[in-house]
Amino acid sequence: AALRKLHTRRVDVQSPDYLGVPLCVSRSRTYSIIAWEAITHVDALKTCFDEVFPAMSNYDVTRLPAEARADVFGHFDCNLTNILVDVEAAGGPSISFIDWEQAGPNIAAYDFGKFLVSVCIAVELQDAELQAAVADLVQGYAPEWDQAAKERMKRSLIAMMPYVAAVNFMSNVRHASTEVGDRWVNRGGAHYRIWSKYQAHWALATQDPSAAPSSSKTFPGGVGACMLRSRGADDEGSCTIS
């Protein structure tokens, strides 16, 4: 219910990096391009990067069901540290969000995916526990939806987990290349593990018959065909982004 209220907000001032597509699309592209250059300085994540980077070309959010790809005002960083719960609020527990600098136009499923990734990094959930949590989230978000719509949204929320993990992994690589210490390497490793565990769920949601038809493989402005080459002393590799 808290995310439903958030997603119906209308904001006149756009995010500075809004490019006319959902922020998860434009930022995945930007983070991937930066990470492509930065990974040469982060040996600890190189093997993980070589797996995650090519997979980014498959993340076309227009293939998600309509409920999941709906245009909303999104928070973009709904991790556990940015969610406050007031258990003593009048009328029952109240949820609020902090840290709004990344907020802006996005797809509905992204905030859920970010939250679920954050939870699964903090606590290892069994599949049954994750499914139960997702069912509760969807019921609270849209109790009026019919069962078919709820099932599509449930599949989509889990499908967003590898997407979110991949986007955050690319961001972690960027930070790890410039900051001293292993904090960002550790975060990158955690996001890689979530990506690896749940990556098969992307196809399960995007094969849904209600997904939008697409004449091309990638969302405009998204990560397109990427060519990985081995990096040598005189060869920094090449990447084509569409």
Answer yes or no: is pLDDT of 82 > 90: yes
Collapsing DSSP to helix, strand or coil, 59 comes out as coil
Answer yes or no: is pLDDT of 220 > 50: no
Answer yes or no: is pLDDT of 92 > 50: yes
β-bridge pairing 94-97 and 104-107: unpaired
Which amino acid type is present at position 154? K
Answer yes or no: is pLDDT of 236 > 60: no
120-127: average pLDDT? 95
Answer yes or no: is pLDDT of 201 > 90: yes
Q: Contact at 8 Å (CB) between 134 and 120?
A: no
Cα–Cα nearest to 106, from 173, 198, 11, 34:
11
Q: How many CB atoms lie within 10 A of CB 34?
A: 16
Answer yes or no: is pLDDT of 203 > 90: no
The two structure tokens encoding residue 70: 């709906």
DSSP assignment of 103-164 equals: -EEEEHHHHHHHHHHHHHHHS---HHHHHHHHHHHHHHH-TTS-HHHHHHHHHHHHHHHHHH
Measure Cα distances from 224 to 58, 59, 110, 177, 219 in Å.
8, 9, 20, 24, 8
User: pLDDT value at position 217?
Assistant: 39
Answer yes or no: is pLDDT of 213 > 70: no
Reported as a pLDDT band with limits 50, 70 and 90, residue 211 is low
Q: Contact at 8 Å (CB) between 139 and 157?
A: no
User: pLDDT value at position 9?
Assistant: 87
Reported as a pLDDT band with limits 50, 70 and 90, residue 221 is very low
Q: What's the mean pLDDT when you consider all of the chain?
A: 87
Answer yes or no: is pLDDT of 227 > 60: no
73-95: average pLDDT? 90
Cα–Cα nearest to 7, from 102, 104, 81:
104
70-77: average pLDDT? 96
Reported as a pLDDT band with limits 50, 70 and 90, residue 100 is very high
Reported as a pLDDT band with limits 50, 70 and 90, residue 208 is low
